[in-house]
Amino acid sequence: MVSRKVPYLGRVYRNILAIKKYNFKKFYEDVSSAECIIPVGEGRSKCALHIGLGKINRDVKTPDSIDFPGRNMYEAAEALEKRYNRVSLLVNSGSGETTTPKRIVQELSEYIERTGSETFTVDAILSNPESTIGRVVKKGYGAMVELKGRGKEPKTAEEYMKQGIMNDIYELGSLYLIQRVKQAVNAKKNYRAAFKGVEEELKQIGGFVDEFVESDAYWSLVEAMEKRSHVIVGGLGIAKTVALMTVIRLQHIKRAIGDEAYLTGALAPRPRAGDVMLLVSWSGETESLVSWCKEAEDFGAEVYSIVGKDSTLSNTTKSFILSSNVDCFYCYAAFVLSPLPLSLVEKLASRGLRLPEYIMSWYHSVTQ
């Protein structure tokens, strides 16, 4: 048992163990031998990539960054080939059909077909090997890891819009796998290292999740989010990406009851009395976050935090201390925050509030 309180973490563990090692070996060798990695995903799959790859000992170029050497992947490939001997296009897409990853994979495949380039590999984590992206990889352009946990492939635009909260098990599994790949690459070990000690670590993560779910701070946060209020979640750097994963899921629920969830930044409103702010920071001392905390409290908002140690934020907010090193903290924090939308749905449903059917079907798919 990985977690007493959150059973779906056991499914994440089983899905990681079910990965076929002979497929993973080629995938890992492509990523570890690459001088440059280009992470591609959408929504929380993209967040999982960015969190997991944080501080990897390789050049990382994202297609939407200011220094990406082209307007699209086809255009950038020629410039990248002049700078690097090996480049991995690292794709995370449960369906293998999400718009941006599919487009970028197709652009690179066109370049490879035209030039015969051996510089690039397309290395994908998917739940559907027969998808568009899966079929490109099968041409011999790279390697594919099949990771279970994703629901059925959406058929309509409306269903795609619902994916923000539907694929928890896949997203957490892919995040953990990428984190493990990064650690093995940085340690200059072989592919087996990515699976060594998985059971013990996931039980440790499950322990953190249980501790948080059983804490007074957790249920105070759930009750605060249940009220007529906006929720503002934030951090800096990788912590902001962890916050974004949470916001994407909370948005669906808060909008259904007439409120909103925001990521800290230019588009987030200034907090008002009754609003909820949740901050993520390993150090708990980041100057901007301490300033946001003070401003929110001055306006009468309730402020919560997930931190890595005793700190200013832990002492001035309703806080949960997730004791881990900085390399693991952000991955662990994503796991720890994952039950929040579930508990909010459960709380609202217990009040008799009618929620959209897709939210309830998502809730039951994760909890049952």
Provide the pLDDT for residue 368.
63
Least confident of 70-79, 146-155, 219-228, 286-295: 146-155
- Single-letter residue type at 55: K
List the structure tokens of 280: 């993520």
Percentage of the chain with pLDDT > 70?
A: 95
- Single-letter residue type at 19: I
- Read off φ and ψ for residue 153, nearest 5 degrees: -65, 130
Residue 207 neighbours by CB distance under 10 Å: 13
Provide the pLDDT for residue 311.
97
Distances (CA, A) of 85 to 55, 111, 202: 21, 16, 36
Tell me the average pLDDT across 267-291: 96
Provide the pLDDT for residue 165.
52
Tell me the average pLDDT across 146-165: 55
Cα distance between residue 342 and residue 218, in whole Å = 12
Provide the pLDDT for residue 151.
54
List the structure tokens of 293: 């905390």
Provide the pLDDT for residue 168.
85
Cα distance between residue 344 and residue 336, in whole Å = 15
pLDDT band (50, 70, 90) for residue 164: very low
Give domain 8-197's CATH number out of 3.30.70.1020, 3.40.50.10490, 1.10.600.10, 3.90.1150.10. Answer: 3.40.50.10490
The yes-or-no verdict on residue 282 having pLDDT over 80 is yes
Query: What is the CA 242 to chain-centroid distance, rounded?
Result: 7
Beta-bridged to residue 59, according to DSSP, are 36
pLDDT band (50, 70, 90) for residue 133: very high
Least confident of 38-42, 48-52, 151-155, 361-365: 151-155
Cα distance between residue 307 and residue 284, in whole Å = 6
Domains 8-197 and 215-367 share a fold: yes
* Residue range 245-264, pLDDT digits in tens: 999 989 989 999 999 999 99
Domain residue spans in the chain?
Answer: 8-197, 215-367
The yes-or-no verdict on residue 26 having pLDDT over 80 is yes
The yes-or-no verdict on residue 143 having pLDDT over 70 is yes
Residues 305, 321: contact at Cβ < 8 Å? no
Cα distance between residue 64 and residue 171, in whole Å = 21
Provide the pLDDT for residue 160.
38
Domain 215-367 fold is Rossmann fold (3.40.50)
Tell me the average pLDDT across 265-275: 92
Provide the pLDDT for residue 163.
40
Residues 145, 17: contact at Cβ < 8 Å? no
